[in-house]
Amino acid sequence: LAKTTQPISMDSYEGQEVNITCSHNNIATNDYITWYQQFPSQGPRFIIQGYKTKVTNEVASLFIPADRKSSTLSLPRVSLSDTAVYYCLGYSGSARQLTFGSGTQLTVLP
């Protein structure tokens, strides 16, 4: 999952569902797909992780198609406080360090 591609920015309105798609064409068999969220002046925070099909937690859902070359983070009924940068990430190296891309700046409008 070393190289991921996701939109640079997205706008949405309060109460809408937001879907952010990430492309990871070179995903390896043992790679997990992980999403983090970062607010201004804070460190990144784990949202959700998945390997295949669908994963849901109290914050978001993650949809992964059978070929696993992409994934979609779904945020239900966003609010202003969901304005943040969202990263689609993989782990790399023996240290399992996170490999950050540019992320997607989500702006939720009133």
The binding site for another protein (CB under 8 A) comprises 30-32, 34, 41-46, 49, 51, 91, 93-102
At closest approach, how far in Å is the CB of 26 from another protein? Answer: 15
Contact between 12 and 78 (Cβ < 8 Å): yes
Which residue, 16 or 102, is less far from another protein as judged by CB?
A: 102
Say how far apart CA 6 and CA 41 lie, in whole Å: 22
> How far apart, in Å, do the first and last CA atoms of the chain sit?
35
Which residue, 12 or 36, is less far from another protein as judged by CB?
A: 36
Say how far apart CA 71 and CA 68 lie, in whole Å: 7
At closest approach, how far in Å is the CB of 54 from another protein? Answer: 17
